[in-house]
Structure 1
């Protein structure tokens, strides 16, 4: 079995099983601010359990080196998690289906620098992986009681490459 994953360009259709792509693509839904701003409305809805709250944070991440050795994946059972680059940084997005509590068949995508993503609640994903950095990201996720983090360490790393 090959342990190499080639990242594909990120598209809303390919990423749909794992969450939403956040981007200003196509015509805006409507205009606001006296016609000066096109609003791309309701692109994703943050998810949280009844005990949590949605928060906005900023994360500053160092760049990853390619090829990337994927040794661990994580998920957040109590809420969704979104990352939006604040300075046009392209980043690698690694996601996987769930297989009875473990990630299965990881896939990788690479953003175009004008895209953010929101992982669905309980979606297995890799760590934040900017391709240049340090890079700042707006983070939208759940805060509240309990542990909202599960990690899965793989016995043999996957190798992620970008064409």
Structure 2
């Protein structure tokens, strides 16, 4: 088993894999009679044929240390995960190396952060660390194969 240490989720560290969805220092625009700050266009949604859809995912919370050997990717569209509670979650990603995932990297979100995986990014399964594990997900809805899975020969264990 190979040990990984999860690092805090930052926009800079996560940039090769996707976008971090979080409030900016200041909103782009004030709306609703100046009672609401709009932090505009935080993620690059990228789909081939099909359309953007919003789904709710209800995932079973996991615990650290977390053992995994499976990653997946979506060749036809980006995939955004927006937690519906102010709890942290584990994010596992891996760079692509000639069509296969290389060594994975682990992040832990701060409460209030979401993520958007860029199209074709290898990533682990949805891994909330606390109940309720409820997420809004924005991803591609359409025909065709949009899921590729890969199982590593050796498992990884993620610690904080």
**TM-score band, normalised by the shorter chain?**
over 0.9
Partner of 1:35: 34
Partner of 2:3: 4
Q: 1:152, 1:104 → 2: CA distance?
A: 11
The answer to whether the aligner puts 1:104 opposite 2:102 as a matched pair is yes
Q: Which runs of 5+ in 2 are unaligned?
A: none
TM-score, normalised with respect to structure 1? 0.95
Range with bigger deviation, 39-48 or 113-122: 39-48
* 1:72-91 matched pairs, under 5 angstroms: 72-91=70-89
Residue 52 of structure 1: which of 50, 53, 75 is its match?
Answer: 50
Contact 2:58 2:132 in 1 (8 A): yes
Partner of 1:25: 24
Q: Tell me the C-alpha RMSD between the 2 structures.
A: 1.0
Q: 1:19, 1:74 → 2: CA distance?
A: 15
Deviation at 1:3, TM superposition (A): 1.3
Alpha-carbon displacement from aligned partner over 1:33-92 (angstroms, at most 9, x marks no partner): 11110010111121100x211101111111112211111000000000010101112100
Partner of 1:137: 135
Partner of 1:160: 158
Range with bigger deviation, 114-123 or 131-140: 131-140
Residue 71 of structure 1: which of 69, 72, 93 is its match?
Answer: 69
Partner of 2:121: 123
What is the count of residue pairs matched by the alignment? Answer: 160
* Structure 1 consecutive aligned stretches of length 4 or more whose deviation exceeds 2 Å: none
Q: Which runs of 5+ in 1 are unaligned?
A: none
